[in-house]
């Protein structure tokens, strides 16, 4: 599933394609992929696209009209927004054609992602984004410490909870815990205030580096322009169970936490 760095790179490359462009035509191949009004007009046909913003793993494509008509995008497991040429690829559920002849498609083979339509950006923020946690790049140490102190789950489970913190998934939680030298199976409520500060500091550093590298391409994720990310080449623990630690050469351990495969170094992380 695309996490914050991947979604941020989708946002940036999408903005390059659509900002200031008017949508000429919208074709909806699968209306059931859309929650809310599933019409060409609700999906911005005839409107100029003003901006694309992100909160956690979600995007908002915003029209340049009075109410800021908005499409909320969640990529789910296999969703992609891609600039495409005919013939349109399989599993292209919605396609947009701009007046400059560029085309964009929402492609999602497994259909765990989706589109939500809103008559105003304020409606999206009230109805959906207000129900998830602060963005992982913006959360304060105090807010994270407060959230962790109230849960009886492991640190890994807590950091995966989008209601606590929006944007992290399996890749970056494992990498973050390693960078902080904290075991992912520690109880979240047992972390000190200093450890919460460390988590926020290292989280910002990790995510910014991953964004700069284009995110992690493991299977489905590519940017809107079709380019793959390169941060997967910098993973220190994710997907490396039984391989040597990059810091101490100890064999990395794998286990199941919060229903997710988890990798850590038993020597470096405490």
- How many CA atoms within 13 Å lie on the side-chain side of 45? 13
**Tokens 């946002």 — which residue?**
11
Per-residue pLDDT tens for 190-209? Answer: 999 999 999 999 999 999 99
Whether 4-131 and 141-264 share one fold: the answer is no
The second-level CATH assignment, the architecture, of 141-264 is Orthogonal Bundle (1.10)
**Cα 71 to Cα 51: distance, rounded to the nearest angstrom:** 11
Instruction: State yes or no: pLDDT of 88 exceeds 80.
Output: no
Predicted local confidence at residue 219, as pLDDT: 87
Region of 167 on the Ramachandran plot (φ > 0 left; ψ -120 to 50 alpha; else beta): left
Which residue shows structure tokens 């290292």?
A: 202
Cβ contacts of 142 within 8 Å, gap of 6 or more: 196
Give me the mean pLDDT over the 44-72 stretch. Answer: 99
Q: What tens digit of pLDDT does each residue of 248-263 get? A: 999 999 999 999 999 9
Domain ranges of the chain: 4-131, 141-264
Average pLDDT, the chain: 97
The confidence band for 86, taking pLDDT boundaries of 50, 70 and 90, is: low
The residues annotated with a catalytic role in the active site are 2-3, 57, 260
CATH number of the 4-131 domain = 3.20.190.10
Please answer whether residues 10 and 2 qualify as being in contact, where contact means their C-beta atoms are separated by less than 8 angstroms. Answer: yes
What's the pTM?
A: 0.97
Cα separation, 237 vs 252, in Å, equals: 7
């Amino acid at each position: 599933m695309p996490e914050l760095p991947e979604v941020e790179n989708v946002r940036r490359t999408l903005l390059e394609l659509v900002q200031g462009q008017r949508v000429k035509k919208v074709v909806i191949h699968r209306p059931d992929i859309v929650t809310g009004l599933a019409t060409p007009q609700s999906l911005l046909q005839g409107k100029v696209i003003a901006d694309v913003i992100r909160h956690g793993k979600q995007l908002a494509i915003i029209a340049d009209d009075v109410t800021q008509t908005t499409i909320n995008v969640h990529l789910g497991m296999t969703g992609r927004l891609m600039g495409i040429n005919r013939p349109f690829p399989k599993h292209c559920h919605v396609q947009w054609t701009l007046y400059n002849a560029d085309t964009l498609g929402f492609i999602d083979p497994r259909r765990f992602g989706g589109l939500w339509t809103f008559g105003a950006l304020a409606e999206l923020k009230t109805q959906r984004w207000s129900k998830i946690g602060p963005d992982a790049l913006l959360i304060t140490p105090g807010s994270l410490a407060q959230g962790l102190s109230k849960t009886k789950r492991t640190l890994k489970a807590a950091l995966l909870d989008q209601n606590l913190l929006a944007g992290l998934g399996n890749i970056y939680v494992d990498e973050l815990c390693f960078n902080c030298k904290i075991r992912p199976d520690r109880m979240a409520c047992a972390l000190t205030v200093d450890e919460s500060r460390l988590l926020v500091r290292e989280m910002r550093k990790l995510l910014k580096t991953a964004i700069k590298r284009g995110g992690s391409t493991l299977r489905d994720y590519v940017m809107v322009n079709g380019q793959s990310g390169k941060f997967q080449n910098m993973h220190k623990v994710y997907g490396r169970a039984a391989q040597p630690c990059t810091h101490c050469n100890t064999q990395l351990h794998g286990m199941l936490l919060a229903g997710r495969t988890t990798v850590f170094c038993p020597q470096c992380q405490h």
